[in-house]
Amino acid sequence: MIKDSIVDGFHNAPHRSLYHALGLTEEDMKRPLIGIVSSYNEIVPGHINLDKIAQAVKLGVAMAGGTPIMFPAITVCDGIAMGHTGMKYSLVTRDLIADSTEAMVRAHGFDGLVMIPNCDKNVPGLLMAAARLNIPTVFVSGGPMLAGRVGGEKRSLSSMFEAVGAYKAGKIDEKKLTEFEQKVCPTCGSCSGMYTANSMNCLTEVLGMGLRGNGTIPAVYSARIELAKHAGMQVMELVKKNIRPRDIMTASAFKNAITADMALGCSTNSMLHLPAIANECNIPFDLDEVNAISEKTPNLCHLAPAGPTYMEDLNEAGGVYAVLKELDGLGLLDTSVMTCTGKTLGENIASAENLDTSVIRTPDNPFGKTGGIAVLKGNLAPNGCVVKRAAVAEEMLVHEGPAKVYESEEEAISAIYAGKIVKGDVVVIRYEGPAGGPGMREMLSPTSAIAGMGLDKDVALITDGRFSGATRGASIGHVSPEAVSGGAIAYVKDGDIISIDIPAYKIELKVSQEELEKRKKEMPIKRKEVDGYLKRYSRLVSSADKGAILL
């Protein structure tokens, strides 16, 4: 065991003395030392319950003969950080989480790990760390929030942001806005739709790093505590069998994850996180392969914001395993891959059953014949950009209109609320990319304002930044190369015609190459003055098509 090099022998007596200072007994030191990476804090709704999850995990580890030791990982609440400078510090925490977890584990010699994340960058950050460290690891998230109810209908955080747009448009009054505010987030947990946190927790199951129910069992259910105990017990099995993350997260496992992503209708942010996790596993990730997989994968789920169902409904319908069972019936998965259960994916899903075909549609009656995410390319985004196709209205799948260009999210929001955006427009928000933002802000406010004002079927948004998993409509993000790197988006002008063809995976700026070259000489690149961590991050971060990894 790894910890033996720290506690065995006379020369390690000083180390043992410090373990005694922790209250560990000699018996504790003889057992495998299991790190419990808890993201508990009192500012993020998805993490306020993780103290209970961590205690259950520790009990499971102890029951199975291990010694659990807990240490923390940070996280940012994207909802609270949304729409202001705080959002610059969201994506960047993914690497802080991976780096700090690596430092803690390497410094203290753990034999195995149980990761307890729940939110947007916290989940991929810990998956990156797990791949990097490559010691036996199991994930158990804090679970999704239950949906709220307003006017007898299920609602979620995206409904709240859209309600702000509706209020600004005079469609609802202050009393109704307050009702939304008080009811859309009724419990702890990750927000109740198929947003980024829940997308990544579901994909953790598909990758084989989380037990059944990791992505869907609601945070407030007692079954979540049982799951945490089983995660603690299961990591001990992985330690005994020496099954490690890179044995589980193989190239085939990532293809399975992309396939499930398409069927579930996951957040576009998965197209940032899956490449970053694959990079830690030394596995190439080609965005072009996403469309190839999408072409043969039906979209089986329309969870909020794409539709009226929520994570609690997916859980009752059979969860992620039921979706995988439907996909396996089409021969779309490699079920021979190993998982953290110690069994193959095929063995895991053998008994799964689709219990509600209104939530998980069957392949002969899908929401769409192709997957929920599309990667578009063209002269505006030579290296690609991403859209959540499953959440785009039919009439916006193909669109052409004049550009309205803004240099920041704040500028765009002001224009939207001032009524400067009209039907047919293509809103372009630039200098919000990984390096140019810096931090690649998630922009739920402008997309929600557009939707709340009833323009989501008439207006497209394009950015080198990114959009929330809670976003719906023709919202196209991750434009690469980004503006600060001299990408074509830096040279778009008001009135330029932009053509979008999502079924054909194309996006074009109707401006000649000669004109673009001329503009490059006339329009200087704009760089924002930043300091601290953001300054270092902007110098090191790669483009979005590479997963915004640090180089």
Q: How far is C-alpha 181 from the chain's CA centre? A: 24
- What's the first-to-final CA gap in the chain, in angstroms? 32
3-state secondary structure of 190: strand
Answer yes or no: are the C-beta atoms of 358 and 349 closer than 8 Å: no
CA distance 20 to 360: 52
Active-site residue, 294 included? no
Answer yes or no: are the C-beta atoms of 431 and 483 closer than 8 Å: yes
Closest C-alpha among 458, 157, 394, 180 to residue 171:
180
Answer yes or no: are the C-beta atoms of 164 and 446 closer than 8 Å: no
Residue type at 104 in one-letter notation: M
CA distance 117 to 119: 6
Beta bridge partners of 476: 387, 462
CA distance 322 to 301: 11
Choice among 445, 448, 468, 480 that is catalytic: 468
Answer yes or no: are the C-beta atoms of 161 and 448 closer than 8 Å: yes
Which helix (H) or strand (E) segment is 382 a member of? strand 381-387
- CA 190 → CA 92, 118, 477, distances in Å? 19, 6, 23
DSSP secondary structure letters along 503-532? TTTEEEE-S-HHHHHHHHHHSPPP-----H
DSSP secondary structure letters along 42-108? SS-TTTTTHHHHHHHHHHHHHHTT-EEEEEE-----HHHHTTSGGGGGTTTHHHHHHHHHHHHHHHH
Closest C-alpha among 503, 524, 502, 523 to residue 511:
523
Answer yes or no: are the C-beta atoms of 307 and 299 closer than 8 Å: no
Task: Annotate 196-219 with three-state secondary structure.
Answer: HHHHHHHHHHHHCCECCCCCCCCC
Using a 10 angstrom Cβ sphere, with 0-12 exposed, 13-18 middle and 19 or more buried, the burial of residue 334 is middle
Closest C-alpha among 363, 371, 402 to residue 388:
371
Q: Where are the beta strands (DSSP E) in 236-380?
A: 374-378
**Ordered strands of the 33-38 beta sheet:** 67-72, 33-38, 112-116, 137-139
Closest C-alpha among 496, 482, 498, 492 to residue 546:
482
**H-type helices in 353-421, by residue range?**
409-417
Active site residues: 468
